[in-house]
Amino acid sequence: MVYPVTDSAGRPLILMRPRLENSKDTDKQIKFLIYHLEIASRMADKLGVGKMCWLLDFQGYTLANAPPIRVSMTCNSILQGGK
């Protein structure tokens, strides 16, 4: 989720808690990630910082609530500037 606050450097804050993901629709999970990336990117541009801050809370994260490897690989590709 993108929060309407910034870190100490003025960057938009994205907080992810993977253990709370309960959707089994992997396409929607990827679209949700892209949606929040776009919001944070627009906020960063508007604030003039051009960067964002990510916080990942893996407390309680297990293989039982992990997404399929295909989803993880697709998200990694998106974050690296791929497709």
Would you state the pLDDT for residue 5?
A: 86
> What's the CA gap between 48 and 18, in Å, rounded?
29
> What's the CA gap between 67 and 3, in Å, rounded?
23
Answer yes or no: is pLDDT of 83 > 80.
no
Would you state the pLDDT for residue 13?
A: 92
Give the domain ranges of the chain: 2-79
Phi, psi of 9 (to 5 degrees): -95, 5
pTM above 0.85, yes or no: no
pLDDT per residue over 18-73, tens digit each? 888 878 888 998 999 899 999 999 999 999 999 999 999 999 999 888 888 888 89
**Do 21 and 65 meet the contact criterion of CB atoms below 8 Å apart?**
yes
Would you state the pLDDT for residue 82?
A: 60
